[in-house]
Structure 1
Amino acid sequence: MSRALVDIRILQREFLLAISRAMTAELDLHDLLRLILKSSVELVSGKAGLIALVDENSGTLQVAAVYGIPPHLVDLFAPLVREVPYNEEHEREAFLELKNQLHHIMREADLGLTQVIRLPLHIGGQVIGLIYVFQSGNYYFVEDAPNLLRSFAEQAAIAVRNARLYQAVKQEKQRLDAILERSADGVMILDRNLRITVFNQALSYITGWPASEAIGQPHDQVIDWVSLKSDSDLKEALEHNWPLPNAAHLYVEGEARRHKDIHYQDDSDTISLGITYAPLMDEAGRMTDIIANVRDLTRYREEEALQKTFISVISHELKTPVSIIKGYANTLHRPDANWSPEILKESLVVIEEEADNLNALIDNLLEVTRLQAGTFTLEISDEVSLPKIAESAARRFSTQSNNHQIEVNFPAEFPMVIGDARRLTQVLNNLLSNAIKYSPDGGLITIQGEVYPEHVTVSVRDEGIGIPVRDHGRLFQKFARLDNALSRKTEGTGLGLYLSRAIIEAHHGRIWFHSNSDSEPGASGTTFTFSLPRD
């Protein structure tokens, strides 16, 4: 081996070492290919070069890096790259065609390039690109140039493979991140120390923990159990050698504390969670991470409680009128009694009233069913007089209580509204019934109408016990009743306000309430108000 070739081999090692360092430094693929190309050209005493890669989508060769070729002349080399296909068995024949194409290119490019060496970039036996090195004029490549360049072609192929693998991993990570972020269930990933490494948006919504705060936190600080329905939590399961061969997944269910600062869904302090933990194992069977799928069971638990409430309330509310009707019917049916017309009349009136109560209860239940089925409809009339509805309701309810005084105040110019008179009567009846029911000591009940440019309002104000703050958020829900001794003694299904809101919203209006003490310090009772559009 000549002295010159020995020196070149030393230079080759230095170039390859610099390229290896650049590859470990995660340089951009274009920069890395240009470095490889520059080293290749300089090593064999060339003047210019280019690397062309096979496009993964089109399958055609595209120039990926150049050295010694001005950018505005790169397109001129397209015939050289695309019209002289590489075939290892026929590369000697192709060499003449390469020189011929280069000669034609130089007529326009005027770079003085006269010689070319071409080598393939292989990945797994597949050609994924080509490296070209050009020489000019009467200069020659160094001795054994093709073999010297093979190591650079290998480095270029490795760089392309790594870049494509990295891009594929990056795209897969982005896809998985997108799936996690768009998942309706909460998802988090824990490391082997049970610290959170991934925390998706749904889980932030469920727990109130922003992902930026939750990531890095210990699992049991974010999932802070108040009570468990399962036998153990994650920490206890791990202490008992979970995961087990026959129990790879762990399900934990219970009540957990919400984040102390942020509540996304409501103001309650706890949430019902069901969490399925799945281990990720390495090739040696050691657990590296834990994926946790978190479901918010709060609504499910509320539905369960609602069903129990429904059965309890309805059975009680149905039983009362049925028992009264049956009692009076049995009494009147006694063969040993001879009832006077007055007693018969009074008894039949009671039976009729209780039958009406029973019918009203059934109507309310049917209304709720229609709402849930989406078949709730209004019978719209162009002329509905809210003052007349209020006067009629006031007269009717005045006969039911000797302790209450009902006043009706509407301005003379109060306009007609478009709506369903029967449904709006139902709303006022519900509000007046509640006003009487929750002011057992009597007092003044005021029905007040007001006119605004785009809408009208009707309010019902009482001087009763008021509404505890803890009940504000659930007052318009199905079967919602105040949590106090009085409500437990009074009859009612808890459907009145739920239906009232549905009726008013179907009229494109709003219904709300406020405590009288909010606007008048020291005042008792509550005011319910609904609005309806004028047109």
Structure 2
Amino acid sequence: MIAGDALNRQLPYWLVERREHLMHLFAPVPALALVLWLSLAALPGMLWMALIGYASTHLLLFWVMYDRSARAAARWPHIERAAILVDALLSIFVIGVATSLLHFLPVYALIAWRAIAGYRRSQATTVTLFVLGPIFLFQLLLHRAGNAALAPDEQWGAVGILTGSLGCGIVAIMASARQKASIHQLRSELQRERNTREARVEELEHLANELRMRMRERHALEEGLRAITSTLSLNDVLEQILDSTVQTFGGERTHAVVLTLQIDGSLDNRMYARDRQIQAQWVEPLIRRVMRDQTPAVIADSALDPDLGEISRTGLHSIICVPLFVGDGPPRGALTVVSATFAAFSSSDARHLSAFAAQAGIAIGNAELHSRLRRQQHLLQAVLRDINDGLVVLDTENNVVLANPIGKALLEDTSAPQPWLERMRELASRLSDDGRPVASPEWIVGDPECEEGCTVYQAVASRVRTNDDLPDLTAIVLHDITDHKAEERARMDFISMVSHELRNPLHTLNGFVKLVLQGRAGPLTPLQQDFLSMADDQIEQLSGRVSELLEYNRFKAGRLTLRPEVGDLSLLIAGTLNRLSLQAEQQQLSLINETPSLPLCQFDNQRIGQVLTNLIENAIKATPAGGVIRVSADVHDQDVRVRVSDTGVGIPSSELGKIFQRFYQVAKHRRAHGTNMGLGLAICQQIVEGHGGRIWVESEEGVGTTFTFTLPLAVEKECTVG
């Protein structure tokens, strides 16, 4: 088969491709020629019978051989041996029966044809031809021992038989030799392939071992990362980093692990070591170098590094050190692994340790952040718990999201006629978009009519700005003003008592001074007249201050009742300006009324006249000669806005929020016009707010000031201050 395959490789391509077709095409030709030859040879009858049996047997074997079933394929070797046996039996029969070359040659050709046809399946078919020819010729010569020599045609037949037999032998020998050479070549190729495969298998085993080692390292790294991220305690995280590093690199080559963190400029080291004699400071020069360069360092032999002399003398040789980044910025430390083996670490180990150090830095940062948050949380809880003020935080839906103990106690108070949460929601609704704080009136715990011995709170609502992802909150601070209210009541009682005690002597003194000025006590010299006039003015001024103080005291005590009535505000403004026009002319000022005809409003004529008078007089005092004071009004929604504008010196922006405070005076006005009680604007605010309105100021230094207050349109009701 191998020889045949070698021969096929030497044939032309087109002949190999069409060989089967050519064989089928020319197969009948040799068969017809052989049949013709056998017919002309005039074979004996017994030989014809043997040939018929031979052909029938081979047809049967052919039919069995070409059965495509699996069982027939298993019988092919036996069929080949049976075919060779049939050839041998025919050969023996021919040797015994045939007595001439004329009878033997066609049968010999038939057997040769069969042998050639079966040669591809088995080279043993040539054995019959190799043995048959010499044996027949030997027998033929024995029968002719006493006879003459072979005829010339018989000699040629004998030569053909011997040539065919020897050719079959030579072909068989050459085929065997070629087969052995091919087998040897195949064995050599197989051996080379086996060696190549063994080398490949060895390489794959090496790669598999390395992969298993890397997988173990990766598994240890993942377990370490899972462990260090499973806790938020900084101390536990640092300890877990050391344990995970040992597990990642294996205990057999890890002699020590140093975890370094820079805290306040100094290095804080945590260490794992099999030998307790090892000091972490021995590797600090390398750690500082790695932190400075921000690159990993792999040391194969510490003795070759001049900075690592201490650790090399202990028998530790290999060191791997990577920077430790915690948050943004430069490294905050390093992670170092030390081994007693030379060149125990590679660049791959440096990459693994760097990856682990990156995750460790994140875990350390999270733990530090958690520690700071816990400290801040404890601080916030302590502040909320121990401050004397109540705190309640509401969300955009006015639901309580935070409350300290005082705030919770007030929210749970059921004795109040109006629930505290409802009060807080109303106060939160008054917050404007600009976020300015809003203060509530006094809130009394329990009976609202209680005057003494009750707890009083004042609430201030402020907007709490959060980031863009969260809605804003409202913080309400409840300040306990009980003591302040008690002091204020005592102060007002004292002021009331002192004012009443001063009023009677002042009236008496004022009466006597006026009698003297009228000349009823005798004639006065001009100098005496001037001195007494000055004294009379001061007495009038002091009496006005006492009246102002008493009036403010009544407002604060809630004992002054406003009696608003439906009236024409335009007439009140016009009358007030007419009354004060002479005073403005004396100061060389223009007092202009720009008030249009207004709808009816509900107000206390006397008290609103007091507010207008106070605002216009303040404008006269604050405006230099040649200035202009304008009074205007307009309707806005459900109220009327009245404005008093001047071209005076203006009010500094730092003092705008304080001018409505009692006893407060603007510094410029105090220097220009002397001291006063500073209660006028506070009284104006009380009167306006008592009407359900509000008052505010707008001013610019050197340009002027505008006071604005609002009054409601006509509504039939009575309002009371306090």
Q: Structure 2 length normalisation: TM-score?
A: 0.34
Q: Which structure would you say has the larger Rg?
A: 2
More helix by proportion, 1 or 2?
Answer: 2
More strand by proportion, 1 or 2?
Answer: 1
